[in-house]
Amino acid sequence: MNARRRFKIPESVLVVIHTPALEVLLIERADHPGFWQSVTGSLDHAGEAPPHTARREVLEETGIDVDLVRGVLRDWALRNRYEIYPNWRPRYGPGVTHNTEHVFGLTVPAGTAVTLSPREHRAWQWLPWREAADRCFSPSNAEAILQLPQRLP
C-alpha cells in the first residue's frame, strides 16, 4: 500500500507573545540556529480555524496554555502573503509558492514559564519589543512586532 504524502497547507499563523510591558518572546529554530522568531505554524487541516491553530501552536512550541496562564489572544485581522523560501517549498504541494499568514498577539503575565519543543526550537528569550524586532529573521515577523504598541487595547 502506498502512503500518500501529506503536504503542508499554505496557510499559517504568527503569534507575537508578549507581556504587558512589551517584552516579546522569541524562540530559536532547532533546524536553523540563529533564526529567531515568534511562534508560527501551519493549519493542520483545511477546516482548522486560525485562532485554534494559534492556541495549538503556542502550546506545542512553548508549553504555554493560553487559558491556564489567563492569556489574552487577539486576532489582529492582519494577513501577510509572502513567497515561501525555496528550501521549504518541498513541504508544500507541487506548484505552491506562497503562504498566507494570520497574525495574532498574545498577552501573558511577566514570568510566564516557557517549555520548548526540542525538535522545533533550541532556545528562548524575552526581549524589549524593538530589540525583538531587530532579532527576527522573518520580515513579516519583525513588522508585526513593530506594530505591537499600536495593537494594544
Q: How many whole angstroms separate alpha carbon 79 and alpha carbon 76?
A: 9
**Does residue 5 lie in a domain region?**
no
| Secondary structure of residue 150 in the 3-state scheme | helix
Residue 31 domain boundaries? 11-151
Is 1 a domain residue?
no
Residue 3 domain-assigned (yes or no): no
pLDDT in tens, 18-33: 999 999 999 999 999 9
Rounded to two decimals, the pTM is 0.92
Query: Is 66 among the domain residues?
Result: yes
Domain count for the chain: 1
Q: What is the tens place of the pLDDT at every residue in 59-75?
A: 999 999 999 999 999 99
Residue 4 domain flag: no
Instruction: Please report whether residue 6 resides in a domain.
Output: no
According to DSSP, the β-strands at 98-107 and 11-18 are parallel
Nearest of 112, 124, 140 to residue 20 by alpha carbon: 112
